[in-house]
Amino acid sequence: MSRLAPPEALVIRAPDDMHVHLREGAALAGYAADAARQFARILVMPNTHPPVWSPGDLAAYREGIAAAAPGLDLVMTFKVRAGMDAATVRALRDSGARAGKLYPQGATTNSGDGLASVDAAYPVFEAMEECGLALCIHGEEPSAPALEREEAFLPEVEGILRRFPRLKVVLEHVSSAAGIAFVREASGNLAATVTVHHLLYTTEDLLGGKLDVHLFCRPLLKGARDRAAIQEAVLAGDRRLFFGSDSAPHPLADKQSGAAGVYSMPVSLPLLAAFFVDHDAAGRLEDFVSRFGAEFYGLPLNEGRVRILRRAWRVPDELHGVVPLAAGRELQWRVEEDPASLTGPHYVDRREP
C-alpha cells in the first residue's frame, strides 16, 4: 500500500471502457447515461436480445444508444456466427463495426446462440482479418471445470493467432495467471481487457463468506495468485492490458436466479483510481484507461480531460433496479461532474493540457 500522501485530484485524458453491456429496450437509457457520466468512449458488446448480427441490427442499436447518451463515442461490435459470409462481414465493417465477438456456445449470459465449434468460424475470421476488424473473444471452454475454463480455452486462442497472423485479437476480461502469462508471451496482435472486479476481488469475496451473487460473473473470479498476476502486469504498465469493465447489469430478480454479470460501470473509475494511488502508480492510470485500448484498436485518443477527486461518497444500494458493485460501501474517489453539460460526459474538462 501507498507510502506517499495521496493527491487531492487526478487529471487524466478522458477514458475508454473497451467492454460494456448496455442491454436493450427500456433498460438501455439508464445504463447508457451511467456510461456517459464516467467514460468518453465505450466498446459495446453485441449479446443483446435479439443479438447484433447484421448491419441493420448494428445501425439500429447504435442509434438507440446515441439517442440515450448523445455525447458518448461508440465503438460497435457484432456477434460472430458460423456461416456468416465475407460480404456480410464487409457490410458490418462499412456500417461502423470495429470488432466481432466470439462467444463459445453456452459460455456466458446470452450465448446459447454462440459457436459450438471455433473452427467453424475460421472463414469469418479470415474475412475479418481481410477487412481490418478485430476479434474479441470470450475465452472460456464451457465443458471444463468452472475455475479452469479460461486456461482450457487458451489453445483455441493460440490456434486463431497462428492461423490469422494479421488479425487483432482481444482476450476479454482476463481472469487467471495462465491467461496473463499467455497474453504477455503472445505476439503483438493479442491484447486483453481487464475488469475492475478481476483486478480487485477473488473467489473468497464471492463465496468465502456469505455467497455474494453480485460478484458472480463469467469468467469466475479466481484466487489470490491469479489476482496478483493481473495486478502485477497492470501496474507494470504492459500496453497489451487495457481497461474493459465488462459492466453487465442484471435486475435483482435475475441475479437471484443465477444470472452472471457485475454492474461495475458506476464505480469502475473510482475503484481504479484508488487501486493505482494505493500502489503509488497514479501515473499509470491514464495509460490503462485512456491510451492502451485506443492504441490497440487504432482509434484516436480522446481529447478531453477528466478530474477524479479524492472525495468520499457512498455507492447507492441500487441503481435502475440493479445492485452495483461495491453497493453501500464508502469509496474515496469520485469523478467530477460538470453541471453545465447535460449531454456529454458530465465530468470532461475539455481544455487541452
Contact residues for ligand NCD (CB under 6 A)?
21, 47, 108-110, 138, 217-218, 246, 248, 260-261
Q: Name the minimum Å distance from CB 64 to ligand NCD.
A: 17
**Catalytic choice (57, 226, 246, 287):** 246
Reduced to 3 states (helix: H, G, I; strand: E, B; else coil), residue 330 is strand
- Report d(CA 42, CA 19) in Å as an integer: 7
Sheet containing 97-102: order of strands: 16-20, 41-44, 73-79, 97-102, 134-137, 169-171, 190-194, 241-243
17: part of which helix (H) or strand (E)? strand 16-20
- Report d(CA 92, CA 80) in Å as an integer: 11
Binding flags for Zn ion, 239-278, as an x/- string (CB under 5 A):
-------x--------------------------------
User: For ligand NCD, which is the closer residue by CB, 55 or 261?
Assistant: 261
Q: What are 90's three cell numbers? A: 464487409
The partner in contact with residue 260, picked from Zn ion, ligand NCD, none with C-beta cut-offs of 5 to 8 angstroms by kind, is: ligand NCD
Q: Name the minimum Å distance from CB 244 to Zn ion.
A: 8
User: For ligand NCD, which is the closer residue by CB, 26 or 342?
Assistant: 26
Q: Name the minimum Å distance from CB 104 to ligand NCD.
A: 10
Residue in the structure block whose three cell numbers are 494505493: 278
User: Which residue's C-beta sits nearest to ligand NCD?
Assistant: 261
User: For ligand NCD, which is the closer residue by CB, 216 or 333?
Assistant: 216
User: For ligand NCD, which is the closer residue by CB, 29 or 281?
Assistant: 29
- Among candidates 195, 196, 280, which has minimal Cα distance to 235? 280
Q: Name the minimum Å distance from CB 287 to ligand NCD.
A: 24
Cα dist. 251→126, 244, 264, 325 in Å? 38, 21, 14, 13
Reduced to 3 states (helix: H, G, I; strand: E, B; else coil), residue 312 is strand
CA end-to-end distance (rounded Å), the chain: 30
Q: How many CB atoms lie within 10 A of CB 258?
A: 9
Does 150 bind Zn ion (CB under 5 A)? Our answer is: no
246 catalytically annotated: yes
Does 16 bind Zn ion (CB under 5 A)? Our answer is: no
Q: Name the minimum Å distance from CB 219 to ligand NCD.
A: 8
The partner in contact with residue 266, picked from Zn ion, ligand NCD, none with C-beta cut-offs of 5 to 8 angstroms by kind, is: none
Does 129 bind Zn ion (CB under 5 A)? Our answer is: no
The residues assigned a catalytic role are 246
Contacts with Zn ion, residue ranges (CB under 5 A): 246
